[in-house]
Structure 1
Amino acid sequence: FAFGYPITEPYWTVARVGGVDKHVLAQLFERRALTYTPGNPPGFEVEMGNVGQHYHQWRYGFQPWADDR
């Protein structure tokens, strides 16, 4: 996976996950977001988000692909 260059320093934030506030260490890169959530089960403490996909959904709304592509 290509991350690109970091665009932030790592920082702690509070994120609501499943209706529960959790402390999350996050760092944003040009193409991905990387998070560390110490309370997650082993193997899921470090997670990666697809920044382009999230931006597209924010900008254009959810647009499912047509079945005939």
Structure 2
Amino acid sequence: MNLYLKDWHHLKITDITMEMVVDKHTKISQTNKSHANITLKLFSAIYNYHRTTVNKLIKQQRLTQIF
């Protein structure tokens, strides 16, 4: 992640677009396709974990605010 996604470290995860992911995969694939696949699979797992965790927290906050 540090090697290939270093230029994304300053970004919020929600600011990363699908177009950016596709471009990054294309760029990494030029040197090593398996590294591109592994790097973006890991990113996808982190992104999905973040998405589900944040959604759960937002729902909990809404319920807390209602009651």
Q: Same fold (TM over 0.5)?
A: no
- Relative to the length of structure 2, the TM-score reads 0.23
Query: When you count strand as a share of all residues, which structure comes out higher?
Result: 1
Between 1 and 2, higher relative CO (CA 8 Å, sep ≥ 6) is seen in 2
Report the structure, 1 or 2, having the larger helix content.
2
